Amino acid sequence: MPLNACSESPRAACPPADDEMPVAPAKALACRQEIISTLLAPRASISPKYFYDQRGSELFEAITRLPEYYPTRTEHALLQQHGHAIASAVGRGRVVIEPGAGNCAKGLALCRSLAATHFVGVDISLDYLRTAVLRMRQALPGLDARAVGGDITAGVQLPADIPRRRRLVFYPGSSIGNFDPPQAVALLAQMRALVLADGGLLVGIDLPKDRATLEAAYDDAAGVTAAFNRNALVHLNRLIGSDFKPQCWRHLAFFNAAASRIEMHLEARSAQCVRWPGGGRDFAAGERIHTENSYKHTLAAFDALLRRAGYASSQAWTDARGWFAMVHARA
């Protein structure tokens, strides 16, 4: 524990555990302890999963419409352009499982093109997901669509009546880039464990490109990404009872070429002491909280991660600029 850390006593308050059950106190306590331990680490950090309360989900959707944010529209275009080839490779009539489903817009497009029988969206931001799944049921009345709340890094609990055969895990949005390579391998392996031998994974990855394009995508002129980044502090204030003042933190986003990743941080504009019940931490002016990594893998590097996670073979589709890829891996 750093010298400037105050003492800590536990108090529970955290996101929902799943669709049906109230938050288990043990889970809530573990979540609170996780947040506080990363805030008290010598290099403070917040897991990017804490971007996503209702407001964070809305801000992310606003980001996807920004001119600088190429990933969403590039990935949508890829799904449109290569829809038939993807459907032939993946197979129709699938049970689609989407971890981190958000507004389910891509899940809806995929379910339509695959004539999927079932869809299970899983997300930490459950109210937002529920609304999206309701829209999905209206758009595709023949689809059995469900919303499941939970943290995908803690293991996905699917409803017991979801068929085991013909499952496809769909993980778009380059969300896999939020994980360090060993964590990414573990998560990919966990996704593989959700499917049988007839199943697979369809995953979106953001490919390396010029620094200016990358940095603009994470630091837009309108300041929406900055608001999204600072919203994590508002969310933490609710979760652990802290008194972060979001306006006192500067949004930073830059490309770390050595690690091939965008990093997002919040930098203290001045010295400040942040308190929460039972503890707190002093931050010096200029001190940072690391809030997100977004790795930009080459196709070869990503294929190596898939193999380490146990996948048999993979096939990729990219856009004409080579900015983004949809990768299908067989279990």
If binding is defined by CB under 6 A, does position 60 make contact with ligand SAM?
yes
Q: Assign residue 302 a region: left if phi > 0, alpha if psi is -120 to 50, beta otherwise?
A: alpha
DSSP tag of 331: -
Q: Which stretch binds ligand SAM (CB under 6 A): 21-29, 76-84, 99-107, 221-229?
A: 99-107
* Contact flags string 67-96 toward ligand SAM, x per CB under 6 A: -----x------------------------
> Which residue from 16, 31, 69, 100 is in contact with ligand SAM, where contact means CB under 6 A?
100
If binding is defined by CB under 6 A, does position 101 make contact with ligand SAM?
yes
Both tokens assigned to 168 = 């496809």
Beta-ladder partners of 292: 264
3-state secondary structure of 197: coil
Residue with tokens 């690391």: 290
- How many residues are there in the chain? 331
Q: Is residue 147 a contact partner of residue 121, using CB atoms and an 8 Å limit?
A: yes
If binding is defined by CB under 6 A, does position 152 make contact with ligand SAM?
yes
d(CA 167, CA 172): 16
Size of the site for ligand SAM (CB under 6 A): 18
If binding is defined by CB under 6 A, does position 102 make contact with ligand SAM?
yes
d(CA 30, CA 151): 12
> Which residue from 31, 97, 124, 239 is in contact with ligand SAM, where contact means CB under 6 A?
124
* Contact flags string 3-42 toward ligand SAM, x per CB under 6 A: ----------------------------------------
Q: How far is the CB of 170 from ligand SAM (least distance, A)?
A: 8
> Which residue from 175, 229, 231, 294 is in contact with ligand SAM, where contact means CB under 6 A?
175
Q: Which is nearer to ligand SAM, 213 or 313 (CB)?
A: 213
If binding is defined by CB under 6 A, does position 177 make contact with ligand SAM?
no
* Sheet strands side by side (includes 249-256): 249-256, 261-268, 288-295
> Which residue from 27, 82, 106, 297 is in contact with ligand SAM, where contact means CB under 6 A?
106
Among 297, 328, 293, 292, which Cα is nearest to 209's? Answer: 297
Number of Cβ within 10 Å of residue 105's Cβ equals 17
Give the footprint of ligand SAM on this chain (CB under 6 A).
49, 52, 57, 60, 72, 100-102, 106, 123-125, 151-153, 172-173, 175
